Structure 1
Amino acid sequence: MTKKYSKFLPSIAEDFSLENFPYYWVTQVHAQYIQNVDHALKKYGLDNSRRRILLSLKSKPHASVSDLSEMVISKMSTTTKIVYRLKDEGLVETYSCEDDARITRVVLTDKGQQMTNKINDLTNVVLEQSFEGLTPLQIEKMMESLKYIFRNLAH
């Protein structure tokens, strides 16, 4: 391990403070974001897991359950349960892929499309709150850094 990162690592720095550990802040921000989003979604009877699937389908219509699982970084069994819960709620429909019947594809219903619009309205409020005091350039730089870190961790 090189010394250039030692102040950020709990096992190396003698005077380590949890507030110097970058993943402490990543998890704190994520947990607070989820808490705020869940609170906002409660009025529609939704939670963050279902929100993530619905918004993934909005960006990739007719995705397979496997695609959705990768997009939301969730186990296939968990994603399948969420998809069928959404189907029971009338927000999505499923069908077998014409080319390979083993693949289940998922599509938003009209009710699901309407719900994604409501979700976006609610989450925009949370996003505006979270980015208050930051410039668009600061947000872009943060996203660039997070994408870079993600790529490092993903391989």
Structure 2
Amino acid sequence: YQHQQQDVFQRDLEAEFHVRRSTVTGILKGMEKKGLIQRLSVEEDARLKRIVLTSQAKSLHREVEMAVARMEEIALRGLSEAEIEVFLEILEKMKANLQEDMLTYEEQKGE
């Protein structure tokens, strides 16, 4: 959704989410079947297919954004700014721990 002003291809999704081609292919096929995306040919290279969101997908995105905002509002109800700040700091530390562990795992796996 955030990249509508530029061309997006399957390889971009593979790189962004660090997943295999077969995984992305399956997801895109499902999204296409549900009417969320279209794959359009590129003039310069017939093998490339540009991925474009449909109006249905854009509408769904707006609905999801509103639902997330509502859930966030409910979840944070009654919490002070200081409590929210501490919570976010703790989450960042937990995220860093998980990322560090994942890197260690990847390094060990590669050996």
Report the TM-score when normalising by structure 1: 0.47
Gaps of 5+ in 2: none
Aligned length: 98
Q: CA RMSD in A?
A: 3.2
User: What amino acid does structure 2 have at the position aligned with 1:107?
Assistant: V
Matched, 1:64 2:13: no
What is the CA–CA distance in structure 1 between the aligned matches of 2:74 and 2:19, rounded to whole Å? 27
Report the TM-score when normalising by structure 2: 0.61
1:1-155 aligned at under 5 Å gives the runs 58-61=1-4, 62-128=7-73, 133=79, 134-136=83-85, 138-139=87-88, 142-143=91-92, 146=95, 150=99, 153=103
What is the CA–CA distance in structure 1 between the aligned matches of 2:55 and 2:28, rounded to whole Å? 16
- Which secondary structure state, in structure 2, belongs to the residue aligned with residue 93 of structure 1? strand
Q: 1:66 to 1:126 in 2, by over 3 A?
A: farther
Identity %: 20
More contact order relative to length (CA 8 Å, sep ≥ 6) = 2
What is the CA–CA distance in structure 1 between the aligned matches of 2:76 and 2:18, rounded to whole Å? 24
Once the two structures are TM-superposed, the CA of residue 126 in structure 1 deviates from its matched residue by 4.1
Structure holding more strand per residue: 2
Gaps of 5+ in 1: 1-57
Once the two structures are TM-superposed, the CA of residue 127 in structure 1 deviates from its matched residue by 4.1
Partner of 1:34: none
What is the CA–CA distance in structure 1 between the aligned matches of 2:18 and 2:75, rounded to whole Å? 23
User: What amino acid does structure 2 have at the position aligned with 1:70?
Assistant: A
